[in-house]
Structure 1
Amino acid sequence: MPGAGGFTFAEDPGLAAPEARLIWHAELDPGTLPVIALPADPRDPDSILVERIVPWLTVAVDPAGHEHAVLSDGWHHIRLDIEQGRLAGAAAVLLHYRLHGLASAEARLLPLRRLIDLCRHGRFARSLFPRDPRIERGIAMLRVHDALGEGASQREIGMALFGAERVAMDWNHRSDSLRSRVRRLVREARAMARGGYRHLLHDRG
């Protein structure tokens, strides 16, 4: 079950983001592919040769013995929950994908295409991982959260984000737009830290 952070298994918090291999709980990551992994003949064109995906594969096992896996290069990820069978240590597996319904299946179609493409071509296809337009704002919120933790004032946060010259010119401007922008970022950063981050994977397009 997920802990307070929402991970099935927590990663070392000291790792830089591109080095971390986060395994989000399936309840928080609607793109998680539930699969059955059966031993397969490596010559079967439907089989996956596990050694070919090992460079990106991280597997953790829960107390019930089920594997939870992520394929990631630090920037892209594909989540698998192995409901039956094993992926780690296998030479080749035949995956049975557990899809059902309309909305639930739709959320997993793109991750399935990503998995198939990765297994065929050995790279994460850019065309299947469109840039999330919320990245820049998310980074700004992380910076604001860190600054708040260091005791920075809103004006100091504004200087860090937009530069001292702009703050000097616009901070006390009649429109109050710059200060309002910083206040919104502060509110959003605090809301995200209180648990709003759990909705990030659900909300992505």
Structure 2
Amino acid sequence: MLAAAMAAATPLVTVEDIVATRDISGVTISPDGRWAAYRVSEPSVAENRVALGWHIVGVNGGDHRRVADGGAARFSFAGTLIENAPIWDADSKGFHFLAMQDGAVGVWLRRTPRYRRLWAARDRLPIDAPIRVGLLAWIDPAISAPEARPIWSPDVDPKVLQTRAGRRAPGPGDNFDVLALADYVSISVDQANREHWLISDGRWLIRLMHHDGTLLGRSTLLVHEIEGVDSAAPKIAALQQFLALTARGEMPASLRPRESRAARWILELRTADALAAGASQKRIAEVLFGESVTARRWRIESASYRSRVQRLVKAAQQYLADPFSGPWFR
């Protein structure tokens, strides 16, 4: 009787409880040995997503706090959450990490002096002025990357799917209902009343440009317009993603983009920010590569690091001068 009573009083562990278990990964100690940075992943069954956050805690205890959003969760080909170790600055005053958020070209564009001048004068510019920089709508350069959802013009993004409303009677499963993907979508309407749809969760994105009518409030038979040979390839890849997403309600792991160059891109962005702050190449090397860079005669004794910084500076200057010269849309 006692055992039965204890069993009845013990709450049952459900599948949802197991799935929603929080996990800690990427624990990394700061160079001065005082702090530990780590990532907390918190799955949500109700929201069908994994929330990521970066935290720090004193190595000797106390002073624990959340310091940054971790962006959208990224998954391996096998469907497991990709771990991400932070990179501490050499002076232990901050750290950097990879986060799948808005596209790399948007990060560079919003750093350029030209974009900031246009943003400041936006109220005096024509309504279609964002097209000058490849966008359908302005994005505040001060907002964080997770909040930015740039909708690029088809003139700069070769993966944009051009669609029209079909006239024939749809077959089973042929109609598209944008409301089924409401959690993923943003929209901008141009002066010709064409709808520009962004469908993205931060790990992947699909762009639709709908030429007649509206996709709001009704399911629609879509006619996809794909032309050419070389120019058709990126659109066919985007169409494969779109078809898989609409069939499953989520993007299969095999179709999520995987970018092996992201770590270098972060170094280039950090270099651009350092140049804007007036840092010398030696100081950039010290912050990026820490004690590996010698304090004296660094041009000779740390020649390899000097060469790396020079390449990073060259890339940063190139992307600040022309954000679209990078490999972002390839």
TM-score band by shorter chain is 0.7 to 0.9
- Quick one: structure 1 residues 36 and 57, their matched pair in 2 at CA, closer, same or farther if it must change by over 3 Å? same
Q: With structure 1 as the length reference, what TM-score do the two structures score?
A: 0.87
Contact 2:294–2:301 (CA<8 Å) still a contact in 1? no
In the alignment, the residues of structure 2 paired with residue 39 and residue 14 of structure 1 have an alpha-carbon distance, to the nearest angstrom, of: 44
One of 17, 31, 48 as aligned partner of 2:159: 31
Give the greater-gyration-radius structure (CA).
2
Change (3 A) 1:46 1:99: same
Alignment partner of 1:167 out of 282, 289, 293: 293
Q: 1:175 to 1:151 in 2, by over 3 A?
A: closer
Q: Percent identity?
A: 36
**Any unmatched runs of 5+ in structure 2?**
1-127
Looking at structure 2, the residues matched to 154 and 193 of structure 1 have their Cα atoms a distance apart, in angstroms, of 17
The DSSP-based 3-state class of the residue aligned with 1:79 is strand
Kindly provide the CA deviation profile for residues 106-158 of structure 1, in whole angstroms up to 9, marking residues without a partner as x.
12111001111111112222211231222121111111111111111111111
Does residue 3 (structure 1) correspond to residue 131 (structure 2)? The answer is yes
Question: 2:202 is aligned with what amino acid?
Answer: G
Query: Counterpart in 2 of 1:142?
Result: 269
CA contact (8 A) 1:47 1:94 kept: yes
Relative to 1, partners in 2 of residues 1:37 and 1:17: Cα closer, same or farther, differing over 3 Å?
Answer: farther
- Give 1:129's match in structure 2, choosing from 246, 253, 256: 256
Confirm or deny: 8 A CA contact 1:118 1:125 kept in the other structure. Answer: yes
Residue among 234, 246, 250 paired with 1:107: 234
* SS of residue paired to 2:199: strand
Partner residue of 1:15?
143
Against the structure 1 CA distance between its residues 187 and 75, is the aligned structure 2 distance closer, same or farther, given a 3 Å change threshold? Answer: same
Distance in 2 separating the partners of 1:45 and 1:115: 14
Q: Check the 8 A contact 1:42/1:91 in 2, yes or no.
A: no
RCO higher in structure (CA 8 A, sep ≥6) = 1
Judging changes above 3 Å, is the alpha-carbon distance between structure 1 residues 67 and 198 closer, same or farther for their aligned structure 2 residues? farther
- The within-5 A match list for 1:34-113 is 34-37=162-165, 44-87=172-215, 89-113=216-240
Q: Tell me if the contact between 1:158 and 1:167 (Cα under 8 Å) persists in the aligned partners.
A: yes
Whole-angstrom CA distance in 1 between matches of 2:165 and 2:158: 20
Cα 1:139/1:4, change in 2 over 3 Å: farther
Unmatched segments (≥5 aa) in structure 1: none
Give the conservation status (yes or no) of the 8 Å contact 2:198–2:205.
yes
Which amino acid is the alignment partner of residue 71 of structure 1? Answer: I
Residue 86 (structure 1) shift = 1.2
Distance change in 2, residues 1:178/1:113 (3 Å) = same
Q: Are the equivalent residues in 2 in contact too, given 1:28–1:198 (CA < 8 A)?
A: no
Residues 68 and 81 in structure 1, CA contact (< 8 A), matched pair in contact too = yes
Runs (4+) of structure 1 exceeding 6 A deviation are: 39-43
Look up the SS of the partner of 2:154 in the other structure. Answer: coil
Higher helix share: 1
Change (3 A) 1:161 1:42: farther
CA separation of 1:116 and 1:66: change in aligned 2, threshold 3 A: same
Equivalent residues of 2:319, 2:326 under 8 A apart: no
User: How many correspondences in the alignment?
Assistant: 201
Aligned to 1:193: 320
Q: Deviations over 1:149-175 (max 9, x none)?
A: 111111111122111x11127933357
